[in-house]
Structures are given as structure tokens and as C-alpha cells.
Amino acid sequence: MEYLARFLIGGLVVSAFAMLGDVLRPKTFAGLFGAAPSVALATLAITLWQHTAGYAATEARTMMWGAIALFACSVAVCQLLMWPRWNALPATLAALIVWLAVAFSLHFLLEANA
């Protein structure tokens, strides 16, 4: 039941931000909504309902490293599309590796020392 609620709420919030991005121009401005905290909004709302505020605050704190990794991932996608001229699907899938590498490197470097 909990995971069904997660699926529905996550799907709705992500679709709402994606549609907002669809109706706005120019394309770079619309692209802002591709990095909207839609999954974070849905997940943190459910976390607050199930766990304590401290638990949600811990999730939000490490989300910062994920967000920096998202920046690196977006820059990587842009470069792969512009210079080696990859298509969007392989470029975004390859950039997921960049996201994982940056997010976990920052997490282990900064959280292990904290």
C-alpha cells in the first residue's frame, strides 16, 4: 500500500512539473523544470508522514550531494549531444554513470569525514 501511494504521488508530481516545462518557452527556461525537485517533494512528504522530521532532514542534507551530481550529469549530457553528437537516449544513460560517480564520491568524502 505504501509503495502504491509512493508510485501515484511520485508519478503525479513528476508529471505536473514536466507539463509545466512543456508549456514554457524558451527551451533553456523550460529545461529548469527537468531539474525540479519533483521526486524529492513526493519522497520527503511521504517520509515526514512515516518517519520523524529528523529522518527527513537527514535525507535532505545528503540530497545536496545528489544535486551537485545532477549538475555534473546535465553538463555531461549537453557535451555528449553537442560534440560527439550522441543521441539523447545514449547520452542521458551514459550521464547516469557520471551522476552515480559524483554523488557517491561526494557522499563518501564528505559524510565519512563528518
Partner 1 sequence: MIVKFSSSSLKDGRWYEYVVRFMLGGAATVFTGLIASGFGPAVGGLFLALPAVFCASATLIEQHEERHKRQAGLSGHRRGQQAAGLDAVGAALGSIGMPGFALVFAMMAQQSAPTAFALALLTWCVISVAAWWIWEQVRASLRSRRTKHFSAPSSKRADAVGTVRR
Residues 24-83 that bind partner 1 (CB under 8 A): 24-48, 51, 53-71, 73-75, 77-78, 81-82
**Residue 28 or 113 having the CB closest to partner 1:** 28
Query: Should residue 8 be labelled a site residue for partner 1 when binding is judged by CB under 8 A?
Result: yes
DSSP result, 42-95: HHHHHHHHHS-HHHHHHHHHHHHHHHHHHHHHHHHHHHHHHSS---HHHHHHHH
Query: Should residue 110 be labelled a site residue for partner 1 when binding is judged by CB under 8 A?
Result: no
CB 101 → partner 1: shortest distance, Å? 12
CB 13 within 8 A of CB 42: yes
Residues 6+ away with beta carbon under 8 Å from 87? 81
CB 80 → partner 1: shortest distance, Å? 9
CB 17 → partner 1: shortest distance, Å? 8
